[in-house]
Amino acid sequence: MSEITPSQTVGPFFAYGLTPKGRAHWDPDGTYSWKETVSDNLITPDAAGEKIRIEGQIVDGDGKPINDAMLEIWQADSQGRYASPYDSRRPNTQFKGFGRSATNKEGEFGFSTIKPGSVPGPNGKPQAPHIVFCIYSRGMLRQVYTRMYFADEAANGSDPILALVPADRRDTLIAQKQTKGDVPVYRFDIRVQGDNETVFFDI
Amino acid sequence: MTLIYPRESLSAYPKHLTPEYKSTVKRSPSKPLIIVPHTLSELTGPVYGHDAVQEGDNDLTRQGKAEPLGERIIVHGRVLDEDKRPVPDTLVEIWQANACGRYVHIVDQHPAPLDPNFTGAGRTITDKNGYYKFITIKPGAYPWGNHHNAWRPNHIHFSVFGHSFLSRLVTQMYFPGDYLFPFDPIFNSVTDDKARLRMVSSFDLENTIPDWALAFRFDIVLRGREATPLDTDKH
């Protein structure tokens, strides 16, 4: 029997502690001053690579927006290097590769970041560029993990993790590129349950 | 040091679908999760240094113009991995209700007073021994809409990072001997008796400060074991 501390839900009230900035629906007069530790903007001035936006909506089993979710992302830099002591090729920039976004009333989230490069996979096989998502909300007693891939990457076809996903469900992991302004927007909607449910990983 | 992350350790966790906690019914995946190998993407994770926190961020009784109302307490302990080795320099964030059981969140409409001198948010970084400490106020119990006469036991929410994105943990710390334990579906979503008690802090007389504050001890154990020499580097 393992001895780890069990997970519990993040509940509905995490925002003032974990995602305090600019959340008008819980801080209507905008006076709350708790400093943000982790933001939804991952871009640092010294980070090389293509600037992108990630936008999406998260919905429950009835298709209703989840307006009290927190999404965290973890990704490599544009060279495919993680800012972690467990990646020996650590980047020498300030780019951390970690972000947090709380959903708004419509269940929408968003990140500004750099498109990640390819990272090594099992047995030295490269993985297609991807971003790991970790999702928390009221009604989730434990976090769920998924991955976002990029629709415009030919490498998706040989990605070792996507290959483990039934072909008819792979689309749920692939963000579609939209052109809205100067910065490419990748649209990544998440359906927690039901028809076309997003693939979640047991890791 | 390379860590491995045994999946069986997760048996201590609640099931995604726990119908007694009604919000899980529409917010739990209905299709089987896909088992994937742990690649570099999972075995790495963000690192936050001491620049992520400011002096005093771990003292929730000093954030207002005056001291908050309620029972002043010390909550402290160590962050460890599955081999019981300390996890140093890792970010620990907490949030909680005030002494009356009210959160400073607009969604919380419990008719109990807010305290102008208490927000309930705190954070710190563990030291080289994995040790952390908060000074705060004992949070009150509060009602919620899950079922008739539903009340949450006193608890403090914890968010902890650890060595990798796999060791990431969001949990709740409870207080010993809470009479609401038998009635709380969130607490009881952890069905193993021993695992459930690992979320309960212990009263710590030794570290209680005379004439000032009671102490509660809460050690947090995250996923991750040291790899044995036989374990080849699979990523």
pLDDT of residue B13 exceeding 70: yes
Contact call for B93 and A13, based on CB within 8 A = no
Q: Which residue of A has its CA nearest to B235?
A: A122
Q: Count A/B contacts: CB-CB distance under 8 Å.
A: 261
For B42, which of A8, A132, A137 is closest by C-beta distance?
A: A132
Q: Where are the domains of chain A?
A: 15-27+36-191
pLDDT confidence tier of residue A1, bands split at 50, 70 and 90:
very low
Evaluate whether ipTM surpasses 0.90. Answer: yes
Residues B68, B62: Cα–Cα separation, whole Å = 8
pLDDT confidence tier of residue B234, bands split at 50, 70 and 90:
very low
With respect to residue B194, please indicate whether it lies within any of the assigned structural domains: yes
Whether A20 contacts chain B with CB within 8 A: yes
Contact call for A119 and B12, based on CB within 8 A = no
pLDDT confidence tier of residue B235, bands split at 50, 70 and 90:
very low
What tens digit of pLDDT does each residue of B90-125 get? 999 999 999 999 998 888 889 999 999 999 999 999
Out of 2.60.130.10, 1.10.8.60, 3.10.129.10, 3.40.1410.10, the CATH code matching A15-27+36-191 is: 2.60.130.10
pLDDT of residue B226 exceeding 90: no
pLDDT of residue B215 exceeding 80: yes
Question: Which residues between 129 and 158 in chain A have a beta carbon less than 8 angstroms from any beta carbon of chain B?
Answer: 130, 132, 134, 136-144, 147
What tens digit of pLDDT does each residue of B153-209 get? 999 999 999 999 999 999 999 999 999 999 999 999 999 999 999 999 999 999 999
Question: At residue B174, what is the residue type?
Answer: Y
**pLDDT value at position A22?**
63
Residues A76, A95: Cα–Cα separation, whole Å = 9
Question: Which residues between 37 and 66 in chain A have a beta carbon less than 8 angstroms from any beta carbon of chain B?
Answer: 37-38, 60-62, 64, 66
- Per DSSP, helices labelled H in chain B are 40-43, 193-197
| CATH number of the domain that residue B197 is part of | 2.60.130.10
DSSP category for residue B130: S
Q: What is the DSSP string of A56-115?
A: EEEE-TTS-B-TTEEEEEE---TTS--SSTTSTT--SSS---EEEEE--TTSEEEEEEE-
Residue B24: both structure tokens together:
């899980």
For B45, which of A10, A84, A119 is closest by C-beta distance?
A: A84
Residues A159, A157: Cα–Cα separation, whole Å = 6
With respect to residue B108, please indicate whether it lies within any of the assigned structural domains: yes
Contact call for A122 and B235, based on CB within 8 A = yes
For B44, which of A84, A134, A141 is closest by C-beta distance?
A: A84
Active site residues of B: 103, 142, 152, 155, 157
Query: What residues of A are in contact with residue B91 (Cβ under 8 Å)?
Result: 37
Taking the model in full, what pTM does it have? 0.96
Whether A10 contacts chain B with CB within 8 A: yes
With respect to residue B234, please indicate whether it lies within any of the assigned structural domains: no
Residue A4: both structure tokens together:
């780890």
Whether B184 contacts chain A with CB within 8 A: no
What tens digit of pLDDT does each residue of A177-192 get? 998 788 999 999 999 9
- Region B140-161: what's the mean pLDDT? 98
- Region B125-142: what's the mean pLDDT? 98
Contact call for B8 and A3, based on CB within 8 A = no
With respect to residue B235, please indicate whether it lies within any of the assigned structural domains: no
Task: Report the run of H or E that residue A144 belongs to, with start and end.
Answer: strand A144-150
Query: What residues of B are in contact with residue A74 (Cβ under 8 Å)?
Result: 41, 44-46, 165
Contact call for A192 and B29, based on CB within 8 A = yes
The count of structural domains within chain B is 1
What tens digit of pLDDT does each residue of A53-91 get? 999 999 999 999 999 999 999 999 999 999 999 998 878
What tens digit of pLDDT does each residue of A106-126 get? 999 999 999 999 999 988 899
pLDDT of residue A172 exceeding 50: yes
Query: What residues of B are in contact with residue A161 (Cβ under 8 Å)?
Result: 36-37, 39
